[in-house]
């Protein structure tokens, strides 16, 4: 059943501060959501398959490299925002079931109204703290876990640790993928420790990022993936990533472990 979108431009008080919704100039139906001054999400009401944030395109590419469009994916999104990636996966994988965990209850109400999101069970929003919700889930109950939680520019420390990563792995299916959006400074200190933490938990890892980020030339984001099944086996993924609007590099498990060498894992 089609839902009705009702975006309202301007500032809106939410439980965790202030949300700002702005329509993209010259592109009716495209909206940018900021949370407490930081860009959070972009939604194109006319095209759910348009992902404006490059890291979301990279995550989608890793998922699409493993699964076919008719697969019944069970996806846990830690961090909601405007549910852009969940909305994309509903369109790309119509048999998927997406649960979005959002700590801000008022924001969850707003984005459903603003963007006419698909209804449960296709897209369910669960209000709660990401770690608490993850630890409450049963073993082998998700195929993909996407960690995209930020407080300011960085991920809250309880979601970085070896102990939390073990919980995420417990919830994943044997061939599931844990996908992390890692924000870092040019020094890449946190990214190296995150890579070490994920590499200690999973048999296979990969990183996707643009070359300047990997060379430590700017502040930005990289996507880190962990799985007990081989990653990026389709063959065409590196070419697809390089052909994107922001060309990206795919690092394999050996490169990730070299990047993380001698780094201490995060612990509670």
SS (H, E, C) 77-133: EECCCCCHHHHHHHHHCCCCEEEEEECCHHHHHHHHHHHCCCCCCCEEEEECCHHHH
Mean confidence (pLDDT) of the chain? 94
* Predicted confidence (pLDDT) per residue in 221-246, tens digit: 999 999 999 998 767 898 889 888 88
pTM: 0.96
* Predicted confidence (pLDDT) per residue in 22-81, tens digit: 999 999 999 999 999 999 999 999 999 999 999 999 999 999 999 999 999 999 999 989
pLDDT at 212 over 50: yes
- Could you tell me the fold of the domain covering 48-259? Rossmann fold (3.40.50)
At 254, list the tokens.
């050996």
Share of the chain above pLDDT 90, in %: 88
Domain assignments of the chain as residue spans, ordered by start = 48-259
């Amino acid at each position: 059943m089609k839902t009705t979108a009702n975006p309202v431009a301007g500032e809106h008080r939410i439980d965790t501060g202030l949300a700002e919704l702005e329509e993209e100039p010259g592109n009716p139906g495209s909206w940018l959501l900021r949370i407490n001054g930081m860009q959070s999400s972009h939604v194109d009401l006319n095209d759910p398959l348009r992902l404006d944030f490059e890291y979301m395109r990279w995550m989608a590419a890793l998922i699409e490299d493993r699964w076919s469009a008719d697969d019944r994916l069970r996806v846990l999104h830690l961090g909601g925002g405007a549910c852009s990636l969940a909305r994309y996966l509903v369109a790309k994988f119509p048999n998927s079931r997406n649960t979005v965990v959002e700590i801000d209850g008022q924001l969850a109400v707003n984005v459903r109204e603003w963007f006419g999101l698909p209804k449960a069970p296709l897209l369910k929003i669960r209000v709660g703290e990401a770690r608490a919700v993850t630890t409450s889930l049963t073993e082998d109950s998700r195929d993909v876990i996407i960690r995209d939680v930020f407080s300011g520019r960085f991920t809250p420390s309880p979601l970085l640790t070896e102990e939390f990563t073990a919980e995420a792995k417990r919830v994943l299916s044997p061939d599931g993928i844990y996908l992390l959006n890692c924000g870092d400074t040019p020094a890449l200190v946190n990214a190296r420790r995150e890579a070490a933490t994920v590499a200690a938990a999973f048999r296979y890892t990969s990183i996707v990022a643009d070359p300047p980020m990997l060379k430590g030339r700017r502040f930005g984001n990289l996507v880190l993936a962990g799985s007990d099944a081989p990653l990026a086996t389709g063959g065409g993924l590196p070419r697809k990533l390089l052909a994107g609007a922001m060309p990206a590099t795919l690092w394999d498990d050996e490169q990730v472990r070299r990047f993380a060498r001698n780094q201490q894992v995060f612990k509670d």
